[in-house]
Structure 1
Amino acid sequence: MARFACPSYSSQLRIDLGALRANYRALADHAAPALCGAVVKADAYGLGAAKVAAALAREGCRIFFVAQLGEAFDVLDAVGIDSSIYILNGLDPGGEAACAEWGFVPVLNGRGQLDRWRAFARAAGKPLRAALQMDSGMSRLGLDLAALADLAQDRSFGEEISLCLLMTHLACADEPDRAANDAQLAQFGAARALFPDVPASIANSGGTFLSPDFHCDVVRAGIALYGARPGPQAPPLRPVVSLDARVIQIREIGEGTGVGYGLDYVADTRRRLATIGVGYADGWPRSLGGNGAAWLDGQRLPIVGRVSMDSLTIDISDLPPTALGEGDFVELLGPHQSLDDVARDAGTISYEILTRLGRRHARVHVEDQAAEIVAAGARI
């Protein structure tokens, strides 16, 4: 794998936009004839929302989902005027004017959001676009079936709101055998019957790989776009991210020597160690201490001792003495260690690993073999 040296930074996060686009094509083909939307909330899961959204728009994506109003502005210039940007969490009070002015689509999740958007539409004297979310069993966001039935009978609702999507969210899409999936689909089917002419969406990444009954009109691809498997039913996808970290120091320690905070690791023989310039401030979980690893040329290099804020220590005793030196890079994410591997070792999920990757990594967006290094929002 090519290295993109950046002397000012101790780690390099590589984002393969070509792989991202390939994953989008695979998901869109699988879900067809349903449309495939892209979830680019949380700065596109930490990978740079503007660049990710622009790459997906070039691939033909026209439906984008963010979580908050502010995130919609982050992708507005990247996606084009013929795209729709949905705000999954809806609007906080006072956000209605900006949302309407810029043409974003709020997902109305409760009575308060609904009433405020309707009132704003009445004041504007024209219907405003919106999506409605149903709570089909997750008990997180959304209106219940009775509330939706009332809206379906409310003639003024149709005069105030141009309803462009009815949606809900699956609680167990990553567990295809859970009965809850079919129960939620049945609940959502009852809601769809109330609004038969409105496009519908239930499937997130995991739901996209349940039966075609879950595809409805729009699937909302998130973590699968970025290369992680959203459940055992999903095929492998192309990895989008890789992370290399630089060696700060190499040392030898003797038998009985402790390493790191708390001296949790004590060498049982003479060992060679390398200290790496990545820690939990960079999003590398403390739980990987004694569990995780780095890699070099196919050789696993276990993390020994605790992960610190700015560094961690790996055992390189099995490497030839000249294989690794100060300033060289080791692999933390890449061909030998996927997001799913790291999440397993850390006792968490790939979503958390990806979204926690910190701002101190030099970010390298690669497309058509051209590399651009961007770190902390500034060109290097």
Structure 2
Amino acid sequence: MTQTPAAAVPPDEAGAHLTIDLGALARNWRALAAMGPRAECAAVVKADAYGTGIETTVPALAAAGCRTFFVAHLSEARRLRAVAPGAVVYVLNGLFAGALDAYAALDIRPVLGSREEVEVFAAFCATVGRRLPAAVHVDTGMNRLGLDLAEAALLAEPGPAALAFEPALVMSHLACADAPGHPLTARQTDRFAQVRALYPGVPASLANSAGCTLPATRHDLLRPGIALYGARFVAGRAPLEPVVRLEAPVVQVRAVRAGETVGYGGAWTAPRPSRIAIISVGYADGYLRAAGTSDAKPGASVRIGQVLCPLAGRVSMDLIAIDVTEAGDVRPGDLVVLIGDGIGVDDVADAAGTIGYEILTSLGRRYHRQTAG
């Protein structure tokens, strides 16, 4: 294993170790690319590559063959450009006039999702005398970002805006493709076919992670995100290979009598004489408070050796208590696996009442980060 470039916490100073399996990440990208053999497969690496680190994951994806990347913000695009100088990079979340020079200087492509953004970018291109590339985002039913169908049709007609910049991609975003058979997916697919017809010769992209599994949504460019990182992306379908592993050493083991409570609020009561192990991970590290256990509800579990051990009480800012009564002779320094060895990010998410996206993007910066694969 090698330490990632972004890691700043030495292993002996960290409460937990986070391992990013770059081999699994690359295999996941290839598996998604194989779903649409006639399409190019991009990678969505926004939110610091879903918590796994842009500087770590982008070179691994590029080495696997990925040439196009999507981020949310220009600041992420700057970081990406530094490690992938030849990549095509799109910025999804809005175009701000004050950043226009940076797009041109760094060869970054904005995703234009409103009439105002189109006009601002077209005027900039006219000012610099260059027909710069950009993506045109059309809303087909998400009602979040994007031109409406009438605006998209108007832009497709010859005119000052259409001639000022190069529409390098026309795209939309699926809202419900992770729920097989959802009627909105069919409506969006039909609407996007109308949009694509307006832009003959321009590459088209509709498929997010779930859309990669649907032949009708693949078009010219796949845009997988969450599936790359080993989390659930279609209901009822197994995720791809796990990419993250989180483990922490036991700090202390203590005996608790039956009837005593553990942690803030006395939320969990020992049902029998119990042994409680403490690890130095908490919600400040992105392990969500809602994953805790109380007398009223079960929470997440961790693994010590071959034994699944439930959390005992609330997750606090920096510490978690675990009921290790059934795990044998647990001692300080023994490793506890919070994610890995059969515990997926979605298992933690389910216990916390959320989704795997939130678990991944919350992964803490106090961990010692390292790579494998």
Determine if the TM-score, normalized by the shorter chain, exceeds 0.5. yes
Report the CA distance between 1:158 and its aligned residue.
Answer: 3.2
Q: In 2 relative to 1, CA 99–190 (structure 1 residues): closer, same or farther, beyond 3 Å?
A: same
Secondary structure at the counterpart of residue 138 of structure 1: coil
Partner of 2:4: none
1:106 alignment partner AA: P
**Secondary structure in 1 aligned to 2:354?**
coil
**1:68–1:91 contact (8 Å) kept in structure 2:** no
Q: C-alpha distance in 1, partners of 2:63/2:352? A: 35
Note if contact 1:65-1:86 (Cα within 8 Å) is conserved in structure 2. yes
Residue 292 of structure 2: which of 289, 293, 302 is its match? 289
Shift of the alpha carbon at 1:7? 1.4
1:197 aligns to what? Answer: 201
Aligned to 1:147: 151
Q: Could you say what secondary structure the match of 1:244 adopts?
A: strand
The one-letter amino acid paired with 1:277 is: S
Q: What whole-Å deviation, never above 9, does each CA across 1:50-85 have from its counterpart, x for those lacking one?
A: 12000111111000000011100111122232x200
Matched, 1:76 2:81: yes
Contact 1:298 1:336 in 2 (8 A): no
Q: How does 1:112-131 map to 2 (within 5 A)?
A: 112-131=116-135
Measure the CA separation in 2 of the matches of 1:24 and 1:336. 21
Shift of 1:234: 4.2
Q: Select 2:223's aligned residue among 202, 220, 236.
A: 220
1:231 has 2:234 as partner: yes
Q: Which amino acid in structure 2 is aligned with residue 193 of structure 1?
A: A
Contact 2:233 2:239 in 1 (8 A): no
Matched, 1:273 2:265: no
Tell whether 2:356 aligns with 1:353.
no
Paired position in structure 1 for 2:42: 37
Structure 2 counterpart of 1:237, which letter? L
Q: Distance in 2 between matches of 1:9 and 1:59?
A: 31
Question: Which SS does the other structure have where 1:185 is aligned?
Answer: helix
* Aligned partner letter, 1:358: G
Quote the Cα distance in structure 2 between the aligned partners of 1:50 and 1:164.
Answer: 26
Larger RCO, structure (CA 8 Å, separation 6 or more) = 2
SS in structure 1 of the partner of residue 326 of structure 2: coil
Q: Which moved more, 1:49-58 or 1:155-164?
A: 155-164
Q: Which residue of structure 1 aligns with residue 260 of structure 2?
A: 257
Deviation of the 1:238 alpha carbon: 1.0
1:337 is aligned, of 326, 343, 348, to 343
Between the aligned residues of both structures, percent identity stands at 45
CA–CA separation in structure 1 for the residues paired with 2:259 and 2:23: 48
Q: Corresponding residue for 1:50?
A: 55
Amino acid at match of 2:332: E
Q: How far off its partner does 1:233 sit?
A: 5.7
Structure 1 residues 253, 235: CA separation in 2 closer, same or farther (over 3 Å shift)? closer
Q: Does structure 2 retain, via aligned residues, the 8 Å contact 1:53–1:75?
A: yes
Where do residues 314-325 of structure 1 align in structure 2 (5 Å cutoff)?
314-321=322-329, 324-325=330-331
Match of 1:300 in 2: 308
Residue in 1 that maps onto 2:5: none
Which blocks of at least 5 consecutive residues in structure 2 are unaligned?
2-9, 294-298
1:10 maps to which of 9, 15, 27: 15
- What is the number of residues matched between the two proteins? 361
2:207 and 2:239 mapped to 1: Cα distance? 18
Alpha-carbon spacing, 1:308–1:235, altered in 2? closer, same or farther (3 Å): closer
Moved more, 124-133 or 148-157: 148-157
Q: Indicate the residue corresponding to 1:378 in structure 2.
A: none
Spell out, residue by residue over 1:263-291, the C-alpha distance to the aligned partner (whole angstroms, 9 max, x if none).
01111221110011100000011111111
Offset at 1:293? 1.1
Asked whether the 8 Å contact 1:209–1:234 carries over to 2, the reply is no
Say whether 1:366 aligns with 2:372: yes
The 8 Å contact of residues 69 and 91 in structure 1, kept in 2 or not, is answered as: no
Amino acid at match of 1:344: D
Asked if residue 248 in structure 1 is aligned to residue 248 in structure 2, the reply is no
Q: Conserved in 2, the CA contact under 8 Å of 1:23 and 1:237?
A: yes
Q: TM-score, normalised by structure 2?
A: 0.94
Q: Could you tell me how far apart the structure 2 residues matched to 1:25 and 1:267 are?
A: 47
TM-score by length of structure 1 reads 0.92
